[in-house]
Amino acid sequence: LTKIKLLDSTLREGEQSSGVCFSLEEKIEIAKHLESFGVDIIEVGHPGISQLEEEVCKKVCEQIKNMETLVHARACKTEILSAHNTGANWVGIWASFNPISLETKFTNKSKEWVKEQVLSSILFAKELGLKVRFTIEDASRTSFEIIEEIAQITNQAGVDRLSLADTVGAWNPQKCYQMVKFAVKNFNCEIEVHLHNDFGLALANAHSAIEAGASIIDVSVLGIGERAGICDLFQMSASLAYFYDDVSFNFKETKYLKDIVARISTFIPEPHRPIVGKNAFIHSSKYHAKANSKNYKAYEFLSPELFGYERKLLPQEYVRESKLRFSNEFKVGNPFVKSAAELKYHRHGVGDRWVHIDSRVDERSPVYIIERLFHEDY
């Protein structure tokens, strides 16, 4: 298998998430840590938007030495020129061709008109010496016939990469596989995928795309991006390491990147988020914790040390807090519970579980604090 490359789009797609805006210094900081993490290429921004954005992209590109840089541009000469001014290695030109896009994004221009724009923009970018990625926006809702027509243009123009965007997160792994396979056959360049996460399927689709022959996957730190975002950098890279023995990532950068992006975006990862959520490496039930204390592999496939985190067994404070909701059922006077003395081990009635009530309960308190729920020992 060829090495799968990661394109990180935290600074472009990520900054498009609602409420997220990075300063120049923050962009440089994030870019440098992505470089050290080992991503292959970053999407720096969309310089054609304004003079200021062009300056910012230029300054970020100047700081990057060990990975490639790409800036985004619509299929028009002014935006390609602006991309060229930033000094990025790549321009990522994008356009969409399906009926809904022609109606809403190109004010009812014809598909032929968009195709001409695309062809002349690609040729112009190549003349300027830029490497060109062309993205079929909304590819997941574009017919195979149209995809084939685009292949004729991009093959003729000599694009270096072709990206299929699941702009609205409409793919499932099977559909994604079919279109990537079709693209591998029809385009004579590398295939990239840009996968939105509206159904929570972005990572699964990425693995399907790899099986079908895609070699570049778009990601962002914590998966941030429009709406539900895109593929998460940490989940993607860790799964490449585990499933494909990819040893190229410096996972020790995980914590820093997570912290800086979470701080600036104010998106705190949900507790059960893979790798960076606060529960990701906590083994809570007694059954799990006991087995893991003998050999952590019992309930662990992905190890925290790789990312600079620690596994935890039985974190009592947290358990008590999380189980408080059960305590309502143990109000004094509950028919189950007559006195504090009876509380030590009391059949709770949820499946085969026993409830162990904290011996420090205060009888006068309206609720008893339940320390934890666990399965009976064998």
- Please tell me whether residue 108 adopts helix, strand or coil conformation: coil
Active-site position among 33, 46, 288, 375: 288
Contacts with ligand HCA by CB under 6 A: the residue count is: 13
- Alpha-carbon gap, residue 238 to 254, rounded angstroms: 10
47 is a contact residue toward ligand HCA (CB under 6 A): no
Give the nearest distance from C-beta 219 to Cu ion in angstroms: 11
Nearer to ligand HCA, 92 or 269 (CB): 92
CA proximity to 96, closest of 76, 83, 80, 115: 115
92 is a contact residue toward ligand HCA (CB under 6 A): yes
Give the nearest distance from C-beta 171 to Cu ion in angstroms: 13
Q: Write the DSSP assignment of 2-39 as a string of letters.
A: PPPEEEE-TTTTGGGSTT----HHHHHHHHHHHHHHT-
- Alpha-carbon gap, residue 309 to 177, rounded angstroms: 34
In single-letter form, the type of residue at position 45 comes to: G
In single-letter form, the type of residue at position 312 comes to: K
Q: Write the DSSP assignment of 138-196 as a string of letters.
A: TGGGS-HHHHHHHHHHHHHHT-SEEEEEETT----HHHHHHHHHHHHHH-SSEEEEEEB
140 is a contact residue toward ligand HCA (CB under 6 A): no
137 is a contact residue toward ligand HCA (CB under 6 A): yes
Nearer to Cu ion, 60 or 195 (CB): 195
- Alpha-carbon gap, residue 230 to 167, rounded angstroms: 9
What residue 154 binds from Cu ion, ligand HCA, none (CB within 5 to 8 A, per partner kind)?
none
Q: Interface mask (CB under 6 A) for ligand HCA, residues 339-358, using x and -?
A: --------------------
Window 163 to 182, contacts with ligand HCA (CB under 6 A) = 163, 165, 167
Give the nearest distance from C-beta 235 to ligand HCA in angstroms: 18
Q: Is 46 a catalytic residue?
A: no
Window 4 to 33, contacts with Cu ion (CB under 5 A) = 13
Residue numbers of the site for Cu ion (CB under 5 A)?
A: 13
